[in-house]
């Protein structure tokens, strides 16, 4: 369920609203808060996720530091569940703060070497946890679980991986996967619709033979055309494949999949997966072969199946437009390369 938390920023009386989910892990919530707080700050100078703790300020004197794993984590049979906001009963409109990371030393919580903070944290945390419904038998502060306490436990977040050793469990697992795919299909289509204009604009920009196109591209493509003629290659798809592998697939696909090579940003796993889908679509658009899709085809292939013909037409027009541009002489090319060397 979606929730709103209010972030306290230092000594300021102003609060920042951040949208989170009650099923978010503590680290996921911290990531969303950091993204909101430092949205205009280069990632390289932002505080690391591991340098701050998330503190829930609840009522008078109730400060509770939330952790992905601690002594209250649900566990058993070799498994340990990652703590979610729901695990701590975090309510809507809760007040949060990012505080410097606390360290665990000799079984005690310390912060900047302050024993007073440890005593305060100890009493406030216990009272708060008891009020939230945790057992009265809990007589130690919430410490991050050590490796010995974890005992090599496997962790899970929303859905615990099932034991597929038996046929019954395997069939049930496959049935659940089918349902999950159906659930995410509508979200997948909705997300595609949201970013469709940006994808179209990007493809249109990189596949335009306008005045900002480097003359090196024209020079290279003319050279490839000349080589295909010199070697008496009659199949036009060969020259197209050479061009695709020299620019779109070698440069632009790498740029699509790795924007962090150019921009000071953090590429999460979710973003990486989404960019891979767009990169695959771009690769398919540059392919000269036809892709036959069926019901068993990957969802990323089916997602842009209707758009591929349009993108292929853009690729072919791009190559044709470059062919119509004025040729570049060797002298012009040498002058251009010398200028680039001088500037860089």
The pLDDT, as a whole number, for residue 126 is 47
pLDDT band with cut points at 50, 70 and 90 for residue 52 = very high
The pLDDT, as a whole number, for residue 20 is 93
- The mean pLDDT value for 324-335 works out to 94
Percent of the chain residues topping a pLDDT of 90: 48
The pLDDT, as a whole number, for residue 119 is 39
pLDDT tens digits for range 264-287: 998 988 899 999 999 999 999 999
pLDDT greater than 60 at residue 166: no
As a whole number of angstroms, the distance between CA 192 and CA 301 comes to: 13
**Residue 10 in tokens:** 């230092």
- The mean pLDDT value for 227-249 works out to 92
261 or 124, greater pLDDT = 261
If one counts every other C-beta atom within 10 angstroms of the C-beta of residue 97, the result is 18
37 or 105, greater pLDDT = 37
What's the pTM?
A: 0.73
pLDDT greater than 90 at residue 293: no
What's the burial of 159, exposed, middle or buried (CB within 10 Å: 0-12/13-18/19+)? exposed
pLDDT tens digits for range 26-42: 999 999 999 999 988 99
Pick the range with the lowest mean pLDDT from 81-95, 107-121, 205-219, 328-342.
107-121
Exposure pattern of 184-200 as b/e (b: 16+ CB <10 Å)? eeeebeeebeeeeeebe
pLDDT band with cut points at 50, 70 and 90 for residue 189 = confident
pLDDT band with cut points at 50, 70 and 90 for residue 249 = very high
As a whole number of angstroms, the distance between CA 51 and CA 33 comes to: 14
170 alpha-carbon distance from chain centroid: 30
The pLDDT, as a whole number, for residue 152 is 54
pLDDT band with cut points at 50, 70 and 90 for residue 324 = very high
82 or 141, greater pLDDT = 82
- The mean pLDDT value for 72-98 works out to 89
The pLDDT, as a whole number, for residue 161 is 79
Full strand arrangement of the beta sheet holding 15-21: 15-21, 2-8, 94-100, 52-57, 63-66
pLDDT band with cut points at 50, 70 and 90 for residue 163 = low
Which residues does 20 contact at the CB level (< 8 Å), separation at least 6? Answer: 2, 3, 4, 5, 28, 29, 32, 33, 85
- The mean pLDDT value for 146-150 works out to 49
pLDDT tens digits for range 206-233: 999 988 899 999 999 999 999 999 999 9
The pLDDT, as a whole number, for residue 302 is 84
The pLDDT, as a whole number, for residue 289 is 84
pLDDT band with cut points at 50, 70 and 90 for residue 290 = confident
């Amino acid at each position: 369920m979606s929730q709103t938390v209010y972030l306290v920023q230092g000594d300021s009386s102003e609060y920042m609203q951040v949208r989170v989910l009650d099923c978010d892990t503590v680290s996921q919530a911290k990531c969303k808060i950091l993204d909101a707080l430092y949205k205009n700050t280069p990632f390289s100078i932002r505080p690391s996720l591991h340098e701050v703790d998330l503190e829930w300020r609840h009522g008078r004197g109730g400060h509770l530091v939330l952790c992905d794993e601690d002594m209250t984590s649900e566990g058993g049979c070799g498994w340990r569940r990652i703590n979610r906001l729901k695990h701590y009963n975090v309510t809507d409109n809760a007040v949060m703060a990012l505080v410097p990371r606390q360290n665990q030393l000799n079984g005690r919580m310390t912060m900047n070497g302050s024993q007073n903070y440890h005593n305060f944290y100890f009493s406030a945390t216990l009272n708060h946890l008891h009020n939230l419904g945790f057992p009265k038998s809990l007589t130690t502060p919430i410490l991050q679980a050590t490796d010995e306490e974890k005992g090599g436990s496997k962790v899970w977040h929303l859905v615990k991986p099932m034991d597929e050793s038996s046929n019954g469990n395997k069939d049930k697992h496959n049935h659940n996967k089918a349902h999950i795919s159906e659930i995410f299909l509508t979200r997948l289509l909705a997300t595609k619709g949201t970013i469709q204009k940006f994808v179209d604009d990007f493809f249109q920009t990189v596949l335009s033979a306008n005045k900002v196109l480097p003359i090196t591209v024209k020079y290279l493509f003319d050279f490839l055309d000349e080589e295909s003629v010199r070697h008496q290659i009659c199949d036009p798809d060969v020259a197209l494949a050479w061009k695709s592998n020299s620019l779109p697939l070698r440069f632009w696909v790498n740029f699509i999949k790795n924007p962090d090579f150019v921009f000071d940003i953090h590429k999460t796993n979710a973003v990486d997966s989404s960019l891979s889908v767009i990169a695959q679509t771009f690769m398919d658009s540059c392919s000269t072969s036809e892709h036959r899709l069926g019901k068993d085809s990957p969802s990323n292939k089916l997602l842009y199946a209707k758009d591929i013909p349009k993108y292929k037409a853009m690729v072919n027009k791009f190559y044709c437009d470059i062919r119509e541009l004025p040729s570049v002489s060797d002298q012009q090319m040498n002058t251009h390369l010398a200028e680039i060397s001088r500037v860089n």
